[in-house]
Amino acid sequence: MRVVFFGTPQFAVPSLEALIAHPDFTVVAVVTQPDKRRGRGNQLSPSPVKAVAVQHEIPVIQPRSIKKSAADLAQLRDYEADVFVVVAYGQILSQEILDMPHHGCVNGHGSLLPQYRGAAPIQWCLYNGETATGMTTMLMDIGMDTGAMLLKSDYAIGLFDTAHDLAVALSQQAAQLIVETLPQLVAGRLTPVPQVDADATYASLIQKPDYELDWSKRAIDLHNQVRGFYPNCVTQFRNQGLKVIATVPLVSALLEQLPAEYVDVMAQLSVSPDVPPGAVATIVKKHGVVMQTGEGLLLLKQVQPAGKKAQSGWDFANGMRVEPGERLGPT
């Protein structure tokens, strides 16, 4: 089976590697985003997908706009692919491109469609406190993740799974699901299932304001925000930025999901009911700062003060001599 693979970030790499390794597929070309300047030296760096393609001597196409490059469109058509496989490519494909392969374009999407269509399904499902997600393969159409579904695989989300953790797990699921989907699709053993638009939700691009922590929210909601937008959530401490990288919601309703050490912490806590949201409720030895939220307490497990490296909540409390009653957030 002749395959053209479209993908860009690390999330897409396991799918490309699975197709390369499988004896029934020949990856005839890879389409990925243009190289970007990264690092202190501002050097041009290839996408993770391109790096794998180059390693395996697979031709690479890197259009700035896949829909507008006549030369690239002609080249894609010349490959006479049986199928295009798309995993986190980063550009919208035109109807002209969707019509090129003999068996259509198969997309691996990081949610259980029609839930969380769009650019950031992993991040928003964590933000919303979902306990399950998964991968869906679908036949692409001109809409945003609206195509008929082919196969699905489920994944149970843990209380401390971050967007990074979930991306790693789902990228492996994507690779397995795509390898399962393609032969069945070509053999006519799959019946595409239309999505019910009324059941759809949308996972929009993440904006800078989404990273700001609002301490009037519940502890569990703040925890979900921190792990969903990992590692970029921020607040303010002593008029400087403070990145909050990992948290523990010290909430009685979550006792069964908490490691024993945090159950012990909760048993020893003694916090005044008068502490307002956004204030340091207490400092727990060897653990660090415990914040009062709009509902419940939140332990800051790992933070990164402005201009410093990431550190444990206990090191932060000691190094900055944090005092109970101090406020985090806008002054």
Q: Specify binding-site residues.
A: 111-114
Quick check: helix, strand or coil at residue 123?
A: helix
88, burial (CB in 10 Å: exposed 0-12, middle 13-18, buried 19+): buried
The CA–CA distances, whole Å, from 63 to 27, 60, 159, 250 equal 18, 10, 40, 49
String of DSSP letters for 288-327: EEEEE-SBSEEEEEEEEETTS--EEHHHHHHHTT--TT-B
Tell me the binding residues for (6S)-5,6,7,8-tetrahydrofolate: 111-114
Rounded Cα gap, residues 282 and 59, in angstroms:
58
Q: Which residue has the tokens 């410093």?
A: 308
Contacts of 230 (CB under 8 A, 6+ apart): 162, 163, 164, 245, 246
Pairing of the two strands 26-31 and 105-109: unpaired
CA distance 149 to 167: 21
Helix axes 13-21, 163-186, angle to 10 degrees: 40
